[in-house]
Amino acid sequence: MNTRALWHRMAGLATVLGLSVVVPFVTGVTPAHAQAQLRITKTHEGDFARGEQGVYRITVSNPGSEATRRIFVSDELPGGLRAAGVQAGAPFSCSIVGSMTVLTCSADALGAGQTATILLTVNVPEDAPCSVTNRVTVSEDGTLPNPILPETDSDVTAITGGECGNGNGGDGDGDDSGSILPITLNGVIPMFNNIATTTNIESPNATNHTSQDFALTAP
C-alpha cells in the first residue's frame, strides 16, 4: 500500500472515530525557512576613574542561517560620559553625534555566523556619578515577512574617584552623625549625650566632633 492510500485510510478512520490524527511520516514536508538573527552585548574591563578614560566593547553577531538586511547600532552615553573615539570592526561604519554623547553605527548586512566588534573610548568627567548604566541597541531595517526585532544590552559601570568608593554611601558629605537618647544615672544626674561623629575619618580634612551637656538635678 502506498503512502497516499495509507493516509486516506487513516483520515477516514479519524472521521469515523471523531479523532484528530497527525501523521508524522507524511512525505513532502517543507523545512522551516532559514532566517537571520541579531545579538548584541556590551562589556568593559575594570572600573572607570573620574578624569580619565574607559573603553566599552560592543559585540554584534548573527547566529542565524542567512544574512541580515541593513542594521543599525545606537548607544546614548549616560552620566555625563563623552565619546573620545571609536574603532569600528567590519562591516560597520560609525559616527559620534549629539555633542559626543551618541554613537551610531550601520552596516549593509551581517552575514550568517558573522560577528563584529566596536570599541568605544569615553571620557569620564570629574563630577561623574559613582555608577552608570550604559544601554546599547541593534536593529534591522527590515519589513515583513521576516523582520528582526531590536535587541538591547545594558552594562553597569562603577566609577571611582572623589567620594566614590570610600564607603560613605556616595553622597559626598561625609556626615553620618547620629544622636543618642538621654540617659539617666541613678535618677540623680540626667546626662544628655549628643554625639556628632564624622565617620569619614580617612578622607582629607575630615574631623570628628563630640559634645556632651550635663545638668545636675537635686535629689
Task: Report pLDDT for 63.
Answer: 94
> What per-residue confidence (pLDDT) applies to 34?
64
Q: Which tens digits make up the pLDDT trace of 130-167?
A: 999 999 999 998 665 667 889 999 999 999 998 887 54
Query: Going along the chain, which residue ranges are E strands?
Result: 39-44, 48-49, 53-61, 71-76, 82-88, 93-97, 102-107, 115-123, 131-140, 151-160, 183-185, 189-192, 195-196, 209-210, 213-214
Both 201 and 130 in a single domain? Answer: no
Do 125 and 190 reside in the same domain of the chain? Answer: no
Count of structural domains within the chain: 3
pLDDT per residue as tens digits for the range 103-126: 999 999 999 999 999 999 999 999
Residues 137 and 190 both lie in one domain: no
Which pLDDT score, from 0 to 100, does residue 193 have? 44
Higher-confidence residue of 168 and 162: namely 162
Verify that 64 and 91 share a domain, yes or no.
Answer: yes
With beta carbons less than 8 A apart as the criterion, state whether 89 and 118 touch: yes
Q: What is the pLDDT of residue 39?
A: 95
Residue-level pLDDT at 61:
96
Q: Is 103 exposed, middle or buried (0-12, 13-18, 19+ CB in 10 A)?
A: buried
Tell me the pTM. Answer: 0.61
Do 116 and 172 share a structural domain? no
Max CA distance (Å), the chain:
117
Contact assessment for residue 107 and residue 89, using Cβ atoms and an 8 Å cutoff: no
Structural domain boundaries, residue 191: 167-219
CATH number at residue 47: 2.60.40.1530
| pLDDT for the residue numbered 145 | 65
Same domain, 148 and 55: yes
User: Both 180 and 206 in a single domain?
Assistant: yes
Domain end marker among 114, 143, 160: 160
pLDDT tier at 5 (50, 70, 90 boundaries)?
A: low
pLDDT at 12: 54
Cβ-defined contacts of 140-147 (< 8 Å, 24+): 140/36, 140/38, 140/68, 140/69, 140/70, 140/71, 140/72, 141/69, 141/70, 141/71, 141/72, 142/68, 142/69, 142/70, 146/33, 146/35, 146/36
Mean pLDDT of 56-68: 95
SS3 4: helix
Question: Does residue 93 have a pLDDT over 80?
Answer: yes
